[in-house]
């Protein structure tokens, strides 16, 4: 739950498990994600707890890597039902799932010059996106128009 660097190897090792194991895994993920007894925010009350962020990332990668083996409709149904019940942190889960499955992630912080550069043509957009990626920022892969 706390080892972020173990998520990709763990997801890759799941190719050897059965469909029953995938169902059990999905159930366990949903059970942990819906557990209200465990704090999903850090002590500061504003940032997402590491275990919750890692579980969301793991869920997104598993859904992306093994879509035929998992009941994605049930997982997304859980997420949407939780949102309807007023759980705001499920948006983070959906963001991770969409980001993992589409390869598109969210730009969290851009400088004013980077924002202005994104108004330019496709070549300059690609340069800006590449520079943000190389700087270690979280970015969106810009679709070429």
CA distance 99 to 140: 9
> Which class for 63: exposed (0-12), middle (13-18), buried (19 or more C-beta within 10 A)?
buried
User: Among 96-105, 109-118, 121-130, which stretch is predicted with the lowest mean pLDDT?
Assistant: 109-118
**Model confidence at 121: pLDDT above 80:** yes
Q: What percent of the chain has pLDDT over 70?
A: 90
At residue 18, the 3 state secondary structure works out as coil
pLDDT for the residue 139: 43
**Model confidence at 144: pLDDT above 70:** no
The angle formed by the CA atoms of residues 40, 7 and 78, to the nearest 5 degrees, is: 50
44 pairs with which residues across the strands? none
Give this prediction's pTM.
0.73
User: Among 70-74, 79-83, 111-115, which stretch is predicted with the lowest mean pLDDT?
Assistant: 111-115
Question: Per DSSP, which regions of the chain are E strands?
Answer: none
Q: What percent of the chain has pLDDT over 90?
A: 46
């Amino acid at each position: 739950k706390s080892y972020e660097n173990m998520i990709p190897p763990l997801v890759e090792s799941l190719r050897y498990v059965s469909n029953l194991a995938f169902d059990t895994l999905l159930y366990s993920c949903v059970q942990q994600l819906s557990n209200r007894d465990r704090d999903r925010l850090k002590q500061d009350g504003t940032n997402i707890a590491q275990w919750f962020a890692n579980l969301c990332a793991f869920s997104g990668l598993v859904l992306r890597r093994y879509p035929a083996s998992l009941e994605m409709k049930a997982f997304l149904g859980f997420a949407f039902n939780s949102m309807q019940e007023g759980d705001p942190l499920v948006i983070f889960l959906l963001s991770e799932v969409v980001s993992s499955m589409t390869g598109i992630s969210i730009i969290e912080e851009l400088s004013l010059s980077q924002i202005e550069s994104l108004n330019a043509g496709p070549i300059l957009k690609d340069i800006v996106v590449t520079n943000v990626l190389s700087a270690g920022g979280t970015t969106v892969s810009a679709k070429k128009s």
